[in-house]
Structure 1
């Protein structure tokens, strides 16, 4: 009888051993994860993604590989993630354009198509011109814009930065010639070349050019002055209550298995505490603003409603 027990135990051990590798190999992730940036390299979203991917190496057994898929104010990159066939291996960098694009009727992709992992950052929009431009205040810029055909660059038709310029029009009655780009960086480069009069991207995305003395920020679309730009007034100080900016965070397609979402959320929470990530944001004067998955979802729902109301008010849907 005892030999039979031994044989039974031996058989069970062999069976367990045979299945152990399969169980170990099924743990997520077993291969590199694509971190999809829906904007060109060089902009604030790209900087954040690369800093996050580097810091996350301490908290994930596989690396995150940053992939830039720009176009349509983020919609091309987000569609790429939503069309991924391997759950969890394509993570999207989400941004506020996800709130504006569907409300303008430019895409059917909405925040509800994603399960949020975490928000990492928030930056207000800024009105930026060349350093040698003759305008040094918002008032001077608006007065000049009333007399000429001012070209104002943004991060794409229907982007947050498009809405930022449109909000200036709404508050002042001035009319701009809106010039869309595939992201903030190409818009800034075109401004540097003197081909447009201004851009309305985030202060963080023009920081290096401002520090180099090539561009200057006339005002921020924030309710208070921000770190790194203490000398720059807000639109509110100038009598124009305009508060628009962008957040950036991470998300995966809705329906991603809960265990994978949990792994990514845990890794994101730990990565957000890494000093290297904070230092990278500080270097670019980007605002740190961590929020976990549930809190991030609440932010997206609130902002979706805000931009829907703004877009309807300005009559921008379908443009």
Structure 2
């Protein structure tokens, strides 16, 4: 069973009738709704959002569907959603790039303060991973090795979440890696399998098949807790390195959306995220469910804005 973390009690949010649609304070939804995904069709953000949309259909009689608006590492789609009419007809999938890109000078006009977060439903944390026959069998050995050797560390592209994960790890450990950017995590993992790298910092879900096959070894995860997928892998935090970095997927509407509409959407998303349809999909696709409601999600985004600003400036990626 995939890990499910729920920080909001649904019974306290949903009406006693058991149906979100019973919200009498609003006529919403009074038309079709689009979920804007700022990434390409077929990717993780797209597939998770389509699975969620399927689970949401009972609450949206006029229809709810995904629309992909790509470009700018996610900024194009997020900008479109941020500037859309604040009536609940447009819901935007948001990700860490919302608070990363502005600090690199590549975010266009996106501003997390112009969104009202609804709920987060998915997370995936970085894993520090090496070849199975690497001389570094623990994170401590890898860190020690980095003090005397030029270790090549692959990631999914300069300025990507996994590049920042590697940078965060080296800063927490007080060492330096040579970061090698690739066009996506898959290319970095292939290079690691070919022994062209000493390690990678990408999501655990992406390396899990190779770890299970015995060709790669995960030394640590940059997660708040050990992952249910592989509880034998320690967190960096428990090993003495204060670093937690990963991706997440959540949903938001323009900040001036009426509260009744915000409440309806939030309750509906929280309910859908625990539905059998969505849980089954996430389990079958190696995606971890992590559910956070509006208040905690809002705080998480603000905290990450501060964190990524400092990290991006410290490695010279700010413009």
Bin for the TM-score computed over the shorter chain: 0.7 to 0.9
Query: Displacement, 1:233?
Result: 1.7
TM-score normalised to structure 1 length = 0.74
Query: Which residue of structure 1 lines up, in the alignment, with residue 252 of structure 2?
Result: 251
Query: Which residue of structure 1 lines up, in the alignment, with residue 49 of structure 2?
Result: 49
Residues 208 and 300 (structure 1), Cα distance of their counterparts in 2 relative to 1, 3 Å cut: same
Query: Displacement, 1:175?
Result: 2.7
| CA distance in 2 between partners of 1:216 and 1:71 (Å) | 33
SS at structure 1 position matched to 2:99: helix
Query: Displacement, 1:94?
Result: 1.4
Alpha-carbon displacement from aligned partner over 1:36-72 (angstroms, at most 9, x marks no partner): 14367444x3443232122222332213225372653
Alpha-carbon displacement from aligned partner over 1:25-45 (angstroms, at most 9, x marks no partner): x964533524414367444x3
1:78 aligns with 2:78: yes
| CA distance in 1 between partners of 2:46 and 2:216 (Å) | 21
| CA distance in 2 between partners of 1:89 and 1:189 (Å) | 41
Query: Which residue of structure 2 lines up, in the alignment, with residue 12 of structure 1?
Result: none
Residues 218 and 152 (structure 1), Cα distance of their counterparts in 2 relative to 1, 3 Å cut: same
Q: How does 1:203-242 map to 2 (within 5 A)?
A: 203-242=204-243
Cα RMSD between the aligned structures? 3.4
SS at structure 2 position matched to 1:225: coil
| CA distance in 2 between partners of 1:258 and 1:274 (Å) | 24
Residues 85 and 209 (structure 1), Cα distance of their counterparts in 2 relative to 1, 3 Å cut: farther
What 5-or-longer segments of structure 2 have no aligned partner? 1-26
Which structure dedicates a bigger proportion of its chain to helix? 1
Residues 32 and 196 (structure 1), Cα distance of their counterparts in 2 relative to 1, 3 Å cut: farther
Query: Displacement, 1:125?
Result: 1.9
| CA distance in 1 between partners of 2:183 and 2:32 (Å) | 30
| CA distance in 2 between partners of 1:38 and 1:251 (Å) | 15
Query: Which residue of structure 1 lines up, in the alignment, with residue 149 of structure 2?
Result: 147
Query: Which residue of structure 2 lines up, in the alignment, with residue 99 of structure 1?
Result: 99
SS at structure 1 position matched to 2:203: coil
| CA distance in 2 between partners of 1:97 and 1:263 (Å) | 26
| CA distance in 2 between partners of 1:90 and 1:188 (Å) | 36
Q: How many residues align?
A: 290
SS at structure 2 position matched to 1:204: helix
116-125 or 257-266: bigger deviation = 257-266
What 5-or-longer segments of structure 1 have no aligned partner? 1-25
Query: Displacement, 1:274?
Result: 0.6
| CA distance in 2 between partners of 1:185 and 1:300 (Å) | 27
Alpha-carbon displacement from aligned partner over 1:112-142 (angstroms, at most 9, x marks no partner): 1212121113333211234455543223434
Query: Displacement, 1:268?
Result: 1.0
| CA distance in 2 between partners of 1:253 and 1:190 (Å) | 41
Residues 28 and 237 (structure 1), Cα distance of their counterparts in 2 relative to 1, 3 Å cut: closer
TM-score normalised to structure 2 length = 0.74
SS at structure 1 position matched to 2:202: coil
Is the Cα–Cα contact under 8 Å of residues 167 and 242 in structure 1 kept in the other structure?
yes
Query: Which residue of structure 2 lines up, in the alignment, with residue 199 of structure 1?
Result: 200
Is the Cα–Cα contact under 8 Å of residues 70 and 182 in structure 1 kept in the other structure?
no
Query: Which residue of structure 2 lines up, in the alignment, with residue 120 of structure 1?
Result: 121
Residues 67 and 274 (structure 1), Cα distance of their counterparts in 2 relative to 1, 3 Å cut: same
